[in-house]
């Protein structure tokens, strides 16, 4: 059984005021997440990631389409879905600031129908796991942002959900805390949990995800492993070369599919191609010109992301 199945989900937000505009947040989105996978939902702000997570978390209804979590419909079988999922979102909200970290977890344990004894035991285990045991009895309002985020994750695990929805979980974390957090996500996958990670952080997606769905303006652009996504975009390959005469670079510039030839500090010359087959022609010309320091590389996920989505810049 797939952990998450999304079939042609569309979600339209109708304007609340006459002057408002109709927003299509998701437009016939389909995706499947097998059990035990860390699946990234990667896209810019306003792409529809949170909307999809909200639908799968049963707090938002789709306008059309079907979605199932571990075989249960998220619209009609909410009572079956809710005990199976955990939700973690970024930022500082979603916790009771005037309770201690431990009290927060025990409260959520009660909401997930654990007995007091079970809730206490699980809270202690999770506090230790996220490295918060020594701060467990301090009020949340005294926690740093990173500590709140770790508590968020522990809270999301109180119900022992088999499927976790993480919405921008490392927002505002310092790099070290984010790295530890990502390691923890890997451990959760190793326990057999399925994780849907919504993020706009390409590095994060590349580091932890088995597969990534690129989403923009409510539409799925592609779903692949981070590495394959890079290969899909191999037409955007880049070649770094040193010691090539200007006349040869001019010839290369004229080859069809060469997007740019630029001098880069510390690298020499960077040649970027944007058509299939152009790389081979460039390499042949460089070798024939006697170039000895030639390095080709696949684009990182970040570069894929920028190539696919970046054209619209800051526009939402």
Interacting residue ranges for other proteins, rule: CB under 8 A: 11, 13, 16, 50-51, 53-54, 57-61, 79, 82-83, 85, 87, 89-99, 103, 106-108, 110-113, 115-116, 159, 167-168
CB of 100 to other proteins, least distance (A): 9
Measure the N-to-C terminal CA separation of the chain; round to a whole number of Å: 36
CB of 156 to other proteins, least distance (A): 9
- What CA–CA distance (Å, rounded) separates 77 from 210? 28
CB of 103 to other proteins, least distance (A): 7
Whose Cβ is closer to other proteins: residue 83's or residue 310's? Answer: 83
User: What angle (nearest 5°) sits at the alpha carbon of residue 185, between those of residues 183 and 191?
Assistant: 110
CB of 164 to other proteins, least distance (A): 12
Q: Which residues contact 233 (CB under 8 A, 6 or more apart)?
A: 298, 299, 303, 304, 307, 308
Whose Cβ is closer to other proteins: residue 84's or residue 222's? Answer: 84
Distances (CA, A) of 44 to 50, 214, 218, 222, 257: 11, 9, 11, 14, 28
Whose Cβ is closer to other proteins: residue 78's or residue 260's? Answer: 78
Whose Cβ is closer to other proteins: residue 11's or residue 211's? Answer: 11
If phi over 0 gives left and psi between -120 and 50 gives alpha, with beta otherwise, what is residue 217? left
Q: Which residues contact 313 (CB under 8 A, 6 or more apart)?
A: none
CB of 234 to other proteins, least distance (A): 36
Starting at the edge strand that comes first in sequence, how are the strands of the sheet with 2-13 ordered? 23-34, 2-13, 64-69, 72-73
Whose Cβ is closer to other proteins: residue 108's or residue 305's? Answer: 108
């Amino acid at each position: 059984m797939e952990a998450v199945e999304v079939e042609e989900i569309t979600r339209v937000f109708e304007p609340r005021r006459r002057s408002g505009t109709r927003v299509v947040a998701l437009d016939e989105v389909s995706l499947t997440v097998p059990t035990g996978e860390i699946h990234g939902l990667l896209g810019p702000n306003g792409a529809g990631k949170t909307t999809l997570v909200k639908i799968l978390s049963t707090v938002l209804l789709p306008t059309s389409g079907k979605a199932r979590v571990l075989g249960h419909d998220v619209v009609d079988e909410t009572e079956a879905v809710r005990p199976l999922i955990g939700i973690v979102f970024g930022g500082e909200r979603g916790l009771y600031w005037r309770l201690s970290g431990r009290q927060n977890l025990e409260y959520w344990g009660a909401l997930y129908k654990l007995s007091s004894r079970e809730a206490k035991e699980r809270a202690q285990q999770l506090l230790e796991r996220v490295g918060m045991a020594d701060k467990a009895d301090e009020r949340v309002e005294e926690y740093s942002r990173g500590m709140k985020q770790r508590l968020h994750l522990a809270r999301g695990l109180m119900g022992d959900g088999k499927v976790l929805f993480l919405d921008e979980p490392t927002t505002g974390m310092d790099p070290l805390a984010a790295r530890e957090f990502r390691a923890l996500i890997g451990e959760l996958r190793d326990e057999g949990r399925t994780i849907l990670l919504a993020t706009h952080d390409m590095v994060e997606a590349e580091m932890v995800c088995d597969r990534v769905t690129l989403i923009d303006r409510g539409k799925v652009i592609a779903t692949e492993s981070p590495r394959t996504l890079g290969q899909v975009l191999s037409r955007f390959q880049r070649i770094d070369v040193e010691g090539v005469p200007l006349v040869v670079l001019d010839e290369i510039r004229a080859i069809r599919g060469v997007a740019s030839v630029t001098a880069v500090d510390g690298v020499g010359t960077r040649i970027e191609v944007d058509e299939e087959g152009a790389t081979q022609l460039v390499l042949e010309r460089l070798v024939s010109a006697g170039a000895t320091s030639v390095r080709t590389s696949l684009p990182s996920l970040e570069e894929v992301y920028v190539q696919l989505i970046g054209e619209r810049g800051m526009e939402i």
